[in-house]
Structure 1
Amino acid sequence: MLRSLVLVALLGSSISFPAASALERPNYGQQTPRQRRQNPDEPMENDQISEEFFNQLRDHTNTTEGEFRQRYYFSDKYYKGQGSPIIIEIAGEESVDNIAPDLAGDSMMIAMMKAWGAAGVVLERRFSFEQATVLLNIPPFQLTSLSSAVTLSPQDRYFGNSMPRDSLTTSNLKLLTVEQAIEDYKYFVENVKLPWTNNKSYSSDPHSTPWVSIGCSYPGLLVALIQQQYPNLLAAGYSSSAPIKADGDFQDYWKPIEAGMPKNCSADLAATVAHIDHVVSTGTPKEVKKLKTRFGLPDLANDDFGKALQWPLLQWQNISPISTEAEYPRLYSFCDAIERVNGTQSMDPQGVGLDQALENLEREFETSISPMLLDAGLFPTSNPQLEMFTDTSVLDKYARAWTWMLCTQLGWFQVGGTGESSSIASSLVTPDYYARQCSNYFPLADGTLPEYNPSQAAEKFNSRFKSWDVVGKNLFITNGEFDPWRSASYSSERAPPTETKTETHRITVIPNAIHGWDLTLSNGKLDENVKRVQDDGLAQIHDWLQHWYTKHPDVPNNLLGKVNTSGKEDFVDETPNDINATHDTVLHDLEEKMEVLAEAKGWGKIS
């Protein structure tokens, strides 16, 4: 599995976009389902953020195993007092340091804290270290202080500085499961003593104050599962871009990318991939070697070669409206290179054709992409002595902890398309390719390489957690139309039909969006579809919070009126707008009222 690579700044693209595209200024990400977040090096406006530690159980099934210190960040800058909400950001695959800025920056978390006078927590996941991945995944929003909540960011076990064990060996990683993660959050919510400022001693017991969880990507899955497993623990959950179905043969990952990327580029890429797969599968050793050499990868095995060809596509998922031109993704530079004819860009939706596209693709790999991939030291994946497989230190620079979860429970390995799913990714990358890597990553104590079957593990996980039938209580769910992780989400084309709006859940697809766009407030400023969903989320969870207070009449209710992400009060007492409607419900109602008033006053038509 390719690690996060240092990528160069890229030029703007002149390729042909799909209609109604909102992708003019993209940036890129990785193939793990991570949230989009702000730059952790940016200054934070909130000076009331503290780093704390919580004594977490090592094993929730065997308390005699003792405890470990689980790190979290905390802020009560906007807290309005006893009974006000506490927002807990569910952590993901890296150090909590990368997510702490959500307590003070351009995030949905800040929007919630300010809107409801809440405190906030970001909790680090178990088995996390400095270079690993973070846990509570959700970029925040900016708002004026109109309500009363607290924000927490606990770090998940095995990620960041939250290490139940001192190394990432196979035996130690057996404590890293989705089940343990869910129990970590439950135990934390029920037992944490928060470090309130000014010597205050507010109760954070979930029966004395409402908690709201928020998470994007894998953390969004945890949000949903917690609401399902423990429906009365938290008042509500906000789940963004969450893959909820495990899949050991995740070829559908490519389908939203192919649907959303420039049509000329996808047409030419499909043609070149089909040609390459044919040559590698049926050609003579000499023909195959010649092809790989033209790509600058003469010594790679067939499956590693196919994986290398996927690399530009893996940058799609972090495209975002707020990216600067210097952050244009490799995918767009890659498409520019493919669509070049005689030094100029072709805008023909059919592309430049196989011969020209293949020549351009070979040149782009040989001169730019292949040297970078080879320097990263990630090949050959058939070699179990590769540092990527043997490094068990808690620094986790090869995402070992996250890979364990993929191999043993979640799958989500992006294998090549078979045609029924997508034709832009090489079919040379198969489930066996990843199963072999799982064996190399996680040998037995005696060095034996056991067999792993991610597909069977995924099936077991889906049976345990109900797959697409996971709909927890008071759950606000969002997915991007062109998010590759949508294929494993509630909004997958393969998912069974389900109600998108009930009293206890909302499911919304954001037009033209990709991964986790709704969790960054600035995205809403640039894309009205995103802003509608952001505002809908605040309004809907506000309603669920009010319902929680009616069930707990002895708890002080410090909520003010509904507000949107701009901090403006919303006095419309009706169901939040459906983003997929053909018009904005609120604006439509106001227009009708103005027409009635104009007619009564004799003003004539006003529209």
Structure 2
Amino acid sequence: MATSRAVLLLLFLGSCGGVRLFHRGRPRGGMVGVPAVNWEHELPPDQWIEQQLDHFNDADARTWKQRYFVNATFYKPGGPVFIQIGGEGTADPIWMVTGQWIKNAEIYNAICFQVEHRFYGKSHPTPDMSVDNLRYLNSEQALADLAHFREYMGRKMNLTNAKWITFGGSYPGSLSAWFRLKYPHLVHAAVATSAPMFALLNFKDYLSVVRDALDTTATGTMCNKLIGVAVDAVSQAIKTDQGKKMMKEKFRLCDNLDGASPNDIANLFSTLAGNFEGVVQYNKDNRAFEGAVGTNITIDTLCGLMAAQRADPLTGFSMVNSLILDTYKQPCLDFSYKNMIKELQLTDWNSSAAEGGRQWTYQTCTEFGWYQSSDLTDQPFGHMFPVSFSVQQCKDIFGDKFTQALNVQGINRTNTNYGGYGIKVSRILFPNGSIDPWHALGITKDLTPDARAIFIKGTAHCANMYPDSPSDSPQLVAARMAIRKQIGQWLQS
């Protein structure tokens, strides 16, 4: 491990090929990114634990190696155990030395573990990511991995009688809550940050939060109105040869729009909406990603560009697109549906799809849905990427049996299994940010006095997990203090 490491978060890393920078609510690399921090010391090394491939079939003796990290710097005998749960991306050891959970570990003398999710990062349970092998990728198997990890590590390190507390953000936040639900004898308490708790096929309200977030900028409702005008202009432009040529130049398209399929057009509109969705989801969250022009990209940045071109909203819309392309070093906008599907069909661990895009798409197609469609009436991004567009992707990537009926079957099972909004749990905190579109599927009001929501005005996805920043809002600071206080109370109970 290198002894000097300066980490600057980029939501999306490297060349993205045919896959969109923001796909199904997930930035390339995962929904909880690397905090912006300079670290000049050794990071914890990779460690490995043997896991059963199928925890629910005792006749299947196959095993695999799961990666995890340990930080015992602050631990004192009798102290608690903190686990950060990995999710739909590579587990990064930088989280073992920074973030709010590490700050709390120092305060409460906890030993810290981070466990990488099966099928992500270096944790490869199967030789490849074929559809037949991906059947071992689901939340229940992931929870069983955590249960085995907790039992094994408890015995190995004499921590069986310690109080174990789980932490997770986004999908791992859901896992944190579900782990407490399914294995309450193993988990004393849980923090479930920005956790979607209700599986849903058509997550059309994602765009309602995006719309409302854009309204909070200095431009007010003007931003959404200008976006709506620009989207209408795009809709008209793609109807003529001259308009298609203009679109290719203005929006830096990788290919001509001539001969574009309906799925290409849907992908184009979805990608242009994604330019705003990604920034809203992570607005001012202290991941500190820098634009190519040297400025932090926030919703104020995007709406400022739109307002500056109020006489020509299409130009403002294209400037937002160029800013995103330049920020993530993309030479052009690849709207090709065929290219996207082709990349997500790759099954080799050395392929570009292995960064997590294929795996996460599979989980949405089989367990969660959560398709951010354009089916909501009152939003400015048009209606060119309906929920059927996402369902079609499941079939085209994984096979004809992955129909909407199969989607719905899996979604219903998830809600039946975990309880959805009606989850019955104790000793859990559910922090959510008002700017984060995922809060629409989260717990934002107390379930009981012992299963409480912390709704943080003005903050985005997983913002409470990141290191302190001088720009943190009073609401965010107060939320972090409330979480810290609750952890202390849990450890006394």
Q: TM class, shorter-chain normalised?
A: 0.7 to 0.9
Give the deviation of 1:324 after TM superposition: 7.2
Q: Which residue of 1 aligns with 2:68?
A: 72
Give the deviation of 1:50 after TM superposition: 4.1
- Residues 248 and 456, structure 1, Cα contact 8 Å, conserved in 2: no
Q: Which residue of 2 aligns with 1:255?
A: 208
Q: Which residue of 2 aligns with 1:597?
A: none
Q: Does 1:101 align with 2:94?
A: yes
Q: Does 1:356 align with 2:312?
A: yes
Q: 1:513 to 1:312 in 2, by over 3 A?
A: same
CA distance in 1, matches of 2:325, 2:199: 30
- Residues 282 and 436, structure 2, Cα contact 8 Å, conserved in 1: no
- Residues 199 and 370, structure 2, Cα contact 8 Å, conserved in 1: yes
Q: Does 1:59 align with 2:54?
A: yes
- Residues 501 and 507, structure 1, Cα contact 8 Å, conserved in 2: no
**Counterpart pick for 1:38 among 30, 35, 43:** 35
Q: Does 1:473 align with 2:421?
A: no
Give the deviation of 1:401 after TM superposition: 1.2
Deviation per residue, 1:339-398 (Å, 9 max, x gap): 225xxxxxxxxxx3xx62124324654797499898578542246872342343355046
- Residues 315 and 330, structure 1, Cα contact 8 Å, conserved in 2: no
**Counterpart pick for 1:168 among 121, 124, 129:** 129
Q: Say which SS state the counterpart of residue 507 (structure 1) adopts.
A: strand
Give the deviation of 1:426 after TM superposition: 3.0
CA distance in 2, matches of 1:327, 1:501: 43
Give the deviation of 1:458 after TM superposition: 2.3
CA distance in 2, matches of 1:288, 1:471: 55
Q: Does 1:499 align with 2:446?
A: yes
- Residues 285 and 461, structure 2, Cα contact 8 Å, conserved in 1: no
- Residues 417 and 425, structure 1, Cα contact 8 Å, conserved in 2: no
Deviation per residue, 1:304-338 (Å, 9 max, x gap): 22122213113222222543773512755443332
**Counterpart pick for 1:517 among 441, 452, 463:** 463
**Counterpart pick for 1:441 among 384, 394, 397:** 397
**Counterpart pick for 1:319 among 261, 277, 283:** 283
CA distance in 1, matches of 2:356, 2:267: 17
Q: Which residue of 2 aligns with 1:211?
A: 164
Give the deviation of 1:486 after TM superposition: 0.7
Q: Which residue of 1 aligns with 2:181?
A: 228
CA distance in 1, matches of 2:374, 2:195: 22
Q: Does 1:461 align with 2:408?
A: no
- Residues 54 and 192, structure 1, Cα contact 8 Å, conserved in 2: no
Task: Describe how 1:228-247 pairs up with structure 2 within 5 A.
Answer: 228-247=181-200
Q: Which residue of 2 aligns with 1:184?
A: 145
Q: Which residue of 2 aligns with 1:576?
A: none
Q: Which residue of 2 aligns with 1:428?
A: 384
Bigger Rg, which one: 1
Q: 1:385 to 1:259 in 2, by over 3 A?
A: closer
Deviation per residue, 1:195-253 (Å, 9 max, x gap): xxxxxx74122xx1110101111100001111111223211101111111122211211
Give the deviation of 1:405 after TM superposition: 0.6
Q: Say which SS state the counterpart of residue 345 (structure 2) adopts.
A: helix
Q: TM-score, normalised by structure 1?
A: 0.67
CA distance in 1, matches of 2:341, 2:467: 45
- Residues 306 and 316, structure 2, Cα contact 8 Å, conserved in 1: yes
Q: Say which SS state the counterpart of residue 526 (structure 1) adopts.
A: coil
Give the deviation of 1:471 after TM superposition: 4.4
- Residues 81 and 112, structure 2, Cα contact 8 Å, conserved in 1: yes
Q: Which residue of 2 aligns with 1:530?
A: 476
- Residues 472 and 505, structure 1, Cα contact 8 Å, conserved in 2: yes
Q: Say which SS state the counterpart of residue 125 (structure 2) adopts.
A: coil
Q: TM-score, normalised by structure 2?
A: 0.82
Q: 1:417 to 1:276 in 2, by over 3 A?
A: farther
Q: 1:291 to 1:464 in 2, by over 3 A?
A: farther
Q: Which residue of 2 aligns with 1:91?
A: 86
Q: 1:89 to 1:370 in 2, by over 3 A?
A: closer
Deviation per residue, 1:254-303 (Å, 9 max, x gap): 222221223222221133335545x48xx856587467445454424321
CA distance in 1, matches of 2:373, 2:440: 13
Unaligned runs of 5+ in 1: 8-27, 126-156, 195-200, 342-351, 444-448, 492-497, 548-607
Q: 1:545 to 1:469 in 2, by over 3 A?
A: same
Q: Which residue of 1 aligns with 2:3?
A: none
Equivalent position amino acid for 1:499 in 2: D
Q: State the aligned residue count.
A: 451
Q: Does 1:400 align with 2:358?
A: yes
CA distance in 2, matches of 1:321, 1:217: 14
Equivalent position amino acid for 1:313 in 2: F
Q: 1:296 to 1:79 in 2, by over 3 A?
A: closer
Q: Which residue of 2 aligns with 1:336?
A: 304
CA distance in 2, matches of 1:528, 1:367: 30
- Residues 90 and 355, structure 2, Cα contact 8 Å, conserved in 1: no
Task: Describe how 1:370-381 pairs up with structure 2 within 5 A.
Answer: 379-381=335-337
Q: 1:377 to 1:284 in 2, by over 3 A?
A: closer
- Residues 275 and 321, structure 2, Cα contact 8 Å, conserved in 1: no
Looking at secondary structure, tell me which structure has more helix per residue: 2
Q: 1:221 to 1:366 in 2, by over 3 A?
A: closer
Q: Say which SS state the counterpart of residue 190 (structure 2) adopts.
A: strand
- Residues 224 and 470, structure 1, Cα contact 8 Å, conserved in 2: no
Unaligned runs of 5+ in 2: 1-10, 16-20
Q: 1:365 to 1:192 in 2, by over 3 A?
A: closer
Q: Which residue of 1 aligns with 2:5?
A: none
Equivalent position amino acid for 2:446 in 1: E
Give the deviation of 1:525 after TM superposition: 6.8
Q: 1:374 to 1:61 in 2, by over 3 A?
A: same
- Residues 416 and 430, structure 1, Cα contact 8 Å, conserved in 2: yes
- Residues 251 and 415, structure 1, Cα contact 8 Å, conserved in 2: yes
Equivalent position amino acid for 1:4 in 2: F
Q: 1:6 to 1:159 in 2, by over 3 A?
A: closer
CA distance in 2, matches of 1:484, 1:84: 36
CA distance in 2, matches of 1:187, 1:112: 25
